[in-house]
Structure 1
Amino acid sequence: MVLEPIHCPGCNDAIAVIKHGKTPDGKRYLCQNPNCDRRTFVRDYAYQGYLPQVKAQISDLAINGSGIRDTARVLKISPTTVIEELKKSIDTSKQ
């Protein structure tokens, strides 16, 4: 049996990471490092729209003038995901 250490994407610490429940596609993890800005995370996302890189691409494509359907088709995600992510980015920019 091979044990693979899980690294936190926030602080890159492997010692302070423990299991923290399950999702339909895998496990959720908890970083116990008090200095970490990211407490829980999922290691492997089943849906590509949840990935932080894809969320950043949605914003970039919107700034460059791509439409919602174009963005969804290029990133292979749902148009609803694109709309919801754009709503979130507008709400955070108002605050």
Structure 2
Amino acid sequence: MVLEAVACKHCGKTQHVKRYGTTRAGTQRYRCFDCGRTFVQTYTHKARDPLVKERITQMVLNGAGIRDTARVLGVNRNTVSAQFKKNRAARAVVKSSM
């Protein structure tokens, strides 16, 4: 049996990551005791992935439209719009550049 080290999706550390139950769908959840956040290794919905959320913010800040961002990342445009509304820093930068 080969044990694979699971790295935290948020802080990247592997030392204090423990199994932390399962999701409703039965996917294994993990908890990082360094940053205190929970995560799963592979997300069933792209919109839940923190990397996709970060890319949405970056693309909008770089001037990409909502529909273009949704098409490139393979998520719904409502997801892009909701993520943009949640991120106050991104809105402030876009407003100041107008």
Short-chain TM bin: 0.7 to 0.9
Q: Which runs of 5+ in 1 are unaligned?
A: none
- Find the counterpart in structure 2 of residue 4 from structure 1: 4
- Find the counterpart in structure 2 of residue 54 from structure 1: 52
Q: Which runs of 5+ in 2 are unaligned?
A: 93-98
Instruction: Give the CA deviation at 1:53.
Output: 2.1
Residues 28-73 of structure 1: per-residue CA shift (max 9 Å, x gap): 11123xxx22421211112222222221221122122222111111
Report % sequence identity: 39
Contact 1:68 1:83 in 2 (8 A): yes
Count of residues in Structure 1 that have an aligned counterpart in Structure 2: 90
CA RMSD of aligned residues (A): 2.4
Instruction: Give the CA deviation at 1:22.
Output: 1.3
